Structure 1
Amino acid sequence: MTENVRLSAGDAAPDFTLATDTGDTLTLKDLRGRKVVLYAYPAAMTPGCTKQACDFRDSLASLQAAGYEVVGISPDKPAKLAKFRERDAITFPLVSDEDKSVLIAYGAYGEKQLYGKTVTGVIRSTFVIDENGAIEHALYNVKATGHVAKLRRDLGLD
C-alpha cells in the first residue's frame, strides 16, 4: 500500500454519509455550524478502543458545552457498533465505514506498526473539524489511553 495522504489544518474535511449504530445515517454536512471531533478507531469492543470510547463518553458533556460534537468511526458493521454502544453506554454517534473509503480519505487507514510489524489497518486518529467543515487539527497515531485528556488540553478546555 502506498503512503497515505495526511490531512492538515485548513484542509477541507472530506464529507461522508455513513450508517450509524442506531440504523440511521449521519452526514458530515448535517453537522455544519458545529465543531466536530471525529475519531477513528480500529475495532469496537477491544480493550483500547473501549477505553478511548469511554473517555470520550465521560468527557462528552464538557466537550458539548464547549461546542463540540463527538463522532466515532470504524470499519465495524452497524450491528456491532450497536452492541458496543449498549454494552458501554456510549452516548455519541458511532458510524460504520465498512469499505474504509472515508477512513482512507482522512488518511486514517493504511500501513502502521503493530508490535514491531508493518500491518495495514485503521490508524488511530482524531480530527477536529470547525463549523465550516475545515480541519482544525489532524492527529495521527494517537494513544487510546490518555488521548482525550491531551485533546482537551490542546483545545484549551482544561
Structure 2
Amino acid sequence: MAERARARLRGALADDAGSASLEFLTVGVLLLVPLVYLVIALGQIQLAMLGVEGASRHAARVVAAADSHDAGLAAADRAIRVALADAGVDAGAANVAIECSPRPDACTTPRGTVTVRIEAAATLPLAPPVLGLDTGLAVPVEAQALQPVSAFGALP
C-alpha cells in the first residue's frame, strides 16, 4: 500500500500538465508588483512636483499683485499652504524663500521682481513610518518662480 502511494506521488510530481499556467502567474506577479509600485511612486513624485511648482508660481503672483509687502507675504503663505496641501506635500516641512528686488524689504516696488523658491520632499507610497523608514524614502522636489511687479502699481 505504501509502495503504491509512493508510485502515485512520483507520477504526480513527474507530470507537467498545468505547470505552464502556474509559472506564467508566478512570473507575472513577480514582474507586475514592482511595475505597479513604480507607476504609483512616479505619480506621487509628479504630483508633488506639480504642487510645488504651482505653489511657487501662485505665491509669486499674489506677492507681486499685493497692495503692501506684509499683505503680499501673508497671501503668499496662504497660497503656498493651499497648493501644497492639495498636492499632499507637508507644508510645514517645505523650505520657502521669497526674495524681492531691487529692495528686499518691499516686494511691491514698481518694476521690481518677486522670486519664490520652494523646496519640499515627495514621500514614496507605502513607506511605513515605523523606525523612521519614511524619512529616508523621499525624493526632493523644488521649484522657482519669478514674477515682475507692475510698473503702474495697483489699479483703483
Query: When the two structures are superposed, what TM-score results if normalisation uses the length of structure 1?
Result: 0.25
Q: Which has the higher strand share?
A: 1
Q: Flag the structure with larger Rg.
A: 2
Q: Which has the higher helix share?
A: 2
- Structure showing greater relative contact order (alpha-carbon pairs closer than 8 Å, 6 or more residues apart): 1
